[in-house]
């Protein structure tokens, strides 16, 4: 089995931009760092794309992203397919929603202009096609109007997404609905309102590193460092230390470890499709807790090919020194 030389990326997304000035203007791209990329499109930082550089369309907002790609190349494939649904070979000709009706000077089909409906409908389509159907993807919406358009399309679409497809919403808090999150007491006991920092939302709340994997990595590091692999949770064969490619259950308290091929066969057992080789998820045969293939593979590749990232995760944060008290006058 070929193994990646790098861990699966902590985050790599395909994003949809919409102009806040002209809502009919969209742009599709990909990035490992959404906040930085948005700043580039809005001219706050160097970079960005020529198509988003017109001041008459700025500022742009990132209204939706697709995350969970196993590599940069995988994200680029999805990005190109979403940006060019009239040409992408990932979409069967009979299933195309966007059809080119004009040609460029060189005779190639001209891409029809984007619209809100075309973007959400092609997102829905690409998440269903065989090329991307079984990838551990997650769809995030950060704009209420765009999410409403998505729900409207889902309500009329004949074909449905798989039940395990994660759809996440994270909208900007409505003004007036947030209350002060902290109150401090003054030296005389009177209450003083503390200005609480606004809670991060949208792309600013997305984890840019492997921090969400800390507990899982801490557990598996202990298992493999102290050679507690034991027997495969599926085939019950002994797992010699350092002599195989092993995946581990990601549930807290469970030390179930097994051959990757065994995990795959076990999790695919109830799918009923003989040609499927990539699992989506299921339940651990040892603890019966839910596991997802994407999270298991992220942990495994991080353990095998991301030592620097693992060391960074396991490093204990330094204790902050208490501020020195002011000298008494």
Render each residue's pLDDT in the chain as its tens digit; 329 residues: 344 578 999 999 999 999 999 999 999 999 999 999 999 999 999 998 999 999 999 999 999 999 999 999 999 999 999 999 999 999 999 999 999 999 998 988 999 999 999 999 999 999 999 999 999 999 999 999 999 999 999 999 999 999 999 999 999 998 765 543 333 333 334 444 555 677 899 999 999 999 999 999 999 999 999 999 999 999 999 999 999 999 999 999 999 999 999 999 999 985 545 567 789 999 999 999 999 999 999 999 999 999 999 999 998 877 767 666 655 55
The whole-number pLDDT of residue 265 equals 93
User: Is 185 in contact with 192 (CB distance < 8 Å)?
Assistant: yes
Predicted TM-score (pTM) of the model is: 0.88
The alpha carbon torsion through 170, 173, 177, 180 (nearest 10 deg) reads 100
The whole-number pLDDT of residue 107 equals 87
* The 3-state secondary structure of the chain, one letter per residue: CCCCCCCCCCCCEEEEEEECCCCCCEEEEEECCHHHHHHHHCCCCCCCCHHHCCCCCCCEEEEEEEECCCCHHHHHHHHHHHHCCCCCCCCCHHHCCCCCCCECCCCCECCCCCCHHHHHHHHHHHCCCCCCCCCCCEEEECCHHHHHHHHHHHHHCCCCCCCCCEEEECCCCCCCCCCCCCEEECCCCCEEECCCCCCCCHHHHCCCCCHHHHHHHHHHHHHHHCCCCCECCCCCCECCCCCCCEEECCCCCCCCEEEHHHHHHHHHCCCCCCCCCCCCEEECCCCCCEEEHHHHHHHHHHHHHCHHHHHHHHCCCCCCCCCCCCCCC
The whole-number pLDDT of residue 130 equals 94
């Amino acid at each position: 089995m070929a193994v990646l030389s790098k861990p699966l990326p902590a985050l790599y997304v395909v994003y949809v931009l919409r102009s806040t000035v002209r809502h009919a203007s969209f742009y599709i791209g990909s990035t490992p760092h959404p906040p930085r990329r948005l700043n580039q499109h809005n001219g706050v930082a160097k970079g960005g794309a020529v198509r988003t550089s017109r001041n008459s369309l700025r500022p742009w907002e990132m209204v939706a992203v697709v995350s969970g790609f196993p590599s940069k190349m995988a994200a680029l494939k999805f990005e190109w397919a979403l940006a060019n649904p009239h040409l992408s070979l990932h979409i069967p000709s009979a299933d195309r929603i966007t059809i080119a009706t004009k040609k460029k000077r060189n005779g190639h089909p001209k891409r029809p202009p984007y619209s809100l409906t075309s973007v959400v409908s092609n997102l829905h389509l690409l998440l269903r096609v065989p090329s991307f159907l079984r990838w551990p993807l997650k769809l995030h919406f950060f704009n209420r109007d765009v999410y409403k358009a998505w729900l409207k399309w889902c309500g009329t679409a004949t074909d449905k997404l798989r039940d395990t497809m994660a759809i996440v919403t994270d909208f900007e808090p409505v003004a007036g609905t947030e209350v002060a999150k902290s109150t401090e007491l003054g030296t005389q006991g009177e209450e003083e309102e503390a200005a609480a920092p606004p809670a991060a939302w949208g792309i600013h709340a997305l984890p840019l590193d492997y921090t969400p994997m800390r507990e899982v990595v801490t557990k598996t590091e202990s298992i493999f460092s102290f050679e507690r692999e034991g027997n495969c949770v599926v085939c019950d064969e002994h797992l010699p230390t350092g002599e195989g490619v092993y995946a581990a259950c990601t549930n807290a308290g469970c030390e179930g470890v097994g051959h990757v091929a065994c995990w795959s066969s076990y999790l695919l057992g109830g799918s009923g499709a003989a040609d499927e080789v990539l699992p989506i998820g299921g339940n651990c045969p040892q603890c019966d807790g839910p596991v997802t293939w994407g999270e298991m593979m992220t942990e495994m590749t991080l353990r095998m090919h991301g030592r620097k990232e693992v060391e960074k995760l396991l490093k204990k944060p330094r204790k902050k020194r208490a501020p020195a008290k002011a000298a008494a006058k």
